[in-house]
Chains A and B, each alone.
Chain A
Amino acid sequence: MIRLERISKAFGQRTILDELTIEFAEGRVTAVVGSSGAGKSTLLRSIDFLERPDRGTVTIGDLTVDAARADRAQILQLRRRTAMVFQQFHLFSRKTAQENVAEGLRVVRGLGRRDAEREALVQLDRVGLSSHAGHYPAQLSGGQQQRVGIARALAMRPQALLLDEPTSALDPELVGEVLATVRGIAEQGQTMVIVSHEMNFVRQVAERIVFLEHGRVVEDAPPEEFFGVGVQDRTRAFLREYHLARGTPDYQI
């Protein structure tokens, strides 16, 4: 279980998160949606303190960290209980796919070289890339790079997998393979928080959708409700904008 309580974050004069309280249940997939600048990524990055909140507490399992008093050891603990998948993959460019996955296993989880390599292959296999273990990131397509990113995150056996717009940097024809990978992992009961612009994907994979605006939760509903008629005006306006911008033909409200 992940719980953020009264999390606030500002960049200069701009308030991004405003006393946000939210909980993510174990074994569930939650999607966070909203327009650019709504605070989605900041919310996600607050969970492992890649972006340190100004105020509030983050709880993962039995560990509660207060942003005002967090020390280095606590932040490391948060990061070791979670794993992040980045929009731009953030792979280690001078390491092969297998070395990318093995790195955290060796350095953070303390596995020996052989064990780490073996485990890395297992994780690469989960994302269908064990045949590309020796490839460097530059030799992989964007979709493959992102799958390596997912394998690297999964290898840490995180209590929660955090995905920050995992498909936004991909060419349209490469989105499908990443979505299929994420869906497969979701079915294995991995707790996930996904920030995404991909409504189609969110609809298929998420059990709960949170709509964020100006750092506050506007809507919090399962997908069938979220994309139904019973939602608030602002949510509907957001979805209308979204579909207008993408010219989705079959969308009507």
Chain B
Amino acid sequence: MNLIDFGAIGDYTVALLPYIPLTLALSVAATALGTVIGLALALVKLARVPVLSQITAVLVSYLRGTPILVQLLLNVNAVPIAILYLNHAFGTAYDALALSPFLVATLTFAMNEAAYSSESIRAALLSVDRREIEAAHALGMTGWQTLRRVTIPSAAVVAFPTLVNNFIGMLKQSSLAFVVSVVEVTAYAKIIGARDYRFFEAYLATAIIYWALTVIVEQIARVVERRMQRPRPAGRASRRTAREVPPHVSAAIAEEVRFS
């Protein structure tokens, strides 16, 4: 009895390899865009911008309160309607169906990433040592210069592990994009599985690929993280007293507890 075709698992794994770049592109684009939007959301909340901060709060609540699958299905149908509406309102003639599914998936995932990362980015920004910010102000830096040169670089180090986790989550989540007909790794596995009626082998090959990807990303992240920490060599005697434990340490721990 030939319940499992072991040879097919290998063949399918190889067949799926060409779709990895698309999965990666989707994940990288969505995480990058999502992080930038997340930073913007965090700044809006921190600065308590009137009106805007209320609007973003509702947006974040919606994004966190609905399944990503539903958002994908909703957006892919909403976009053509929006285009038709715009055509009607402004007399333009955009093709409502020409919209790339890849773009819809990227934007949907990015907005989700933004909603979830904005809180961790906000915590990371708050963890930046006030004294360094004050030093930047005393040097005569503008608010934006301080943000760009001091606050964001320091916060990035704190937020990095969380953002890597988010990226790994995104790699896996990107498999949902098949519902809006983006043919990435999972979608192609479905296709070849259906072709040979070897679904189990196809999905096993898919799982192997995702697992390998996340392990590789984790290893790369570990190296990068170690490099980022270099300015604070562990074990080297410093003159900091217990009172001066950098405030971001405790914040990072709180962050870890909250989001893991």
Contacts and interface: CB of A to CB of B under 8 A. Distances in A.
A94 B132 CA distance: 10
Given A86-B131, A93-B246, A138 B233 contact: yes
Contacts of A82: 138
Given A136-B232, A139-B233, A139-B236, A156 B139 contact: yes
A63 interface: no
Given A92-B132, A138-B232, A138-B240, A79 B137 contact: yes
Contact of B238 (A104, A108, A138, A152): A138
B239 A79 contact: no
Interface stretch (B15-23, B118-126, B150-158): B150-158
A103 B149 contact: yes
Interface string A75-91: 01001101110101011
Nearest to A79: B140
Interface in B100-152: 129, 131-132, 134-142, 145, 149-150
Nearest to B244: A88
Interface in B7-27: none
Interface in A202-238: none
A81 to B, nearest CB: 8
B91 interface: no
A95 B142 CA distance: 19
A142 interface: yes
Contacts of A180: none
Contacts of A90: 131-132, 134-135, 138
A76 B137 CA distance: 8
A93 B140 CA distance: 19
B67 interface: no
Scoring B153, B231, B246 by chain A CB atoms within 10 A of each residue's CB, the highest score goes to: B231
B154 A86 contact: no
A105 to B, nearest CB: 9
Contacts of B139: 79, 83, 103-104, 107-108, 152, 156
B228 to A, nearest CB: 9
A136 B234 CA distance: 12
Nearest to B131: A90
Tell me whether chain B's interface is mostly helix, strand or loop, or mixed: helix
B142 A93 contact: no
Given A88-B244, A94-B154, A107-B145, A50 B138 contact: yes
A117 interface: no
B149 A107 contact: yes
Contacts of B157: 94
Nearest to B230: A136
Given A94-B157, A136-B232, A142-B239, A50 B137 contact: yes
A165 interface: no
B36 to A, nearest CB: 22
A79 B135 CA distance: 11
B153 A94 contact: yes
Interface in A127-167: 136, 138-142, 145, 152, 156
A48 B231 contact: no
Interface string B217-260: 00000000000000111001011100010100000000000000
Given A93-B232, A94-B231, A48 B239 contact: no
A24 B244 CA distance: 33
Given A94-B157, A108-B141, A50 B134 contact: yes
B157 to A, nearest CB: 7
B142 A88 contact: no
A95 B135 CA distance: 13
A138 B141 contact: no
A82 B134 CA distance: 14
A84 B134 CA distance: 10
7 cross-chain pairs, A with B, having the tightest CB-CB distances, nearest first: A80-B140, A90-B135, A104-B139, A84-B138, A79-B140, A90-B131, A138-B238
Interface of B: 129, 131-132, 134-142, 145, 149-150, 153-154, 157, 231-233, 236, 238-240, 244, 246
Interface of A: 48, 50, 72, 76, 79-80, 82-84, 86, 88, 90-95, 103-104, 107-108, 136, 138-142, 145, 152, 156, 171
27 contacts: A48-B138, A50-B138, A83-B138, A83-B139, A84-B135, A84-B138, A90-B138, A92-B150, A93-B129, A93-B132, A93-B232, A94-B154, A94-B232, A103-B136, A103-B149, A104-B139, A104-B140, A107-B139, A107-B141, A107-B145, A108-B140, A108-B141, A108-B145, A136-B233, A138-B240, A152-B135, A152-B139
Given A79-B140, A94-B231, A140-B239, 5 more contacts: A76-B142, A90-B135, A93-B132, A104-B140, A136-B231
